[in-house]
Structure 1
């Protein structure tokens, strides 16, 4: 598959990357090599090969989602060096 430096420039622009002409040509060649290798892999007959792993065949064990009592607001605010009613007071940053 042919990848032009112009196409690499479009991709770089979308990724907000600034590349010089040398890098565009270099990456175009590298992308082309990778895509050619992928085409070679796609041509392989793997119909008789059993998959090594399938995420569909495995289940994820999750804990039950149970509501738990959290700390009271006053207890949490009592740990702050400075509060204003029900809010934390923090230094102005901007």
Structure 2
């Protein structure tokens, strides 16, 4: 999947980035190189390969260091919502953006 100059402009617009024409020209081969690597990785058959939770587990035995599952912080919802422009029943109210 090769990107075009128009794709780079669209990505920059969606990302709210202002790119000069030199930056746009430099970014196009970088993005295409990235997607080329992704395509190569997607082509590899990984069926039958167990997922790793850490890359180290491929070369040595790794013991998980799990912490006790307990509450460590107090409820600060009211404090966190103080700066919100609109809150109701503990929920942030936002303007409708989808019709």
TM interval, shorter chain, is 0.5 to 0.7
Rounded to whole Å, the distance in 2 between the matches of 1:47 and 1:6 is 36
Q: Classify the secondary structure of the residue corresponding to 2:36.
A: helix
Gaps spanning 5+ residues in structure 1: where?
69-94
Unaligned runs of 5+ in 2: 55-63, 76-99
Structure 1 stretches of at least 4 aligned residues deviating more than 4 Å after TM superposition: 58-61
Distance 1:48 1:18, change over 3 A: same
**The structure with more radius of gyration:** 1
Give CA deviations for 1:11-64 in whole Å, capped at 9, x if unaligned: 11122111111111211111111101100000101112221129xxx9885325
Taking structure 2 as the reference length, the TM-score comes to 0.52
CA RMSD of aligned residues (A): 2.6
The corresponding residue for 1:18 is 18
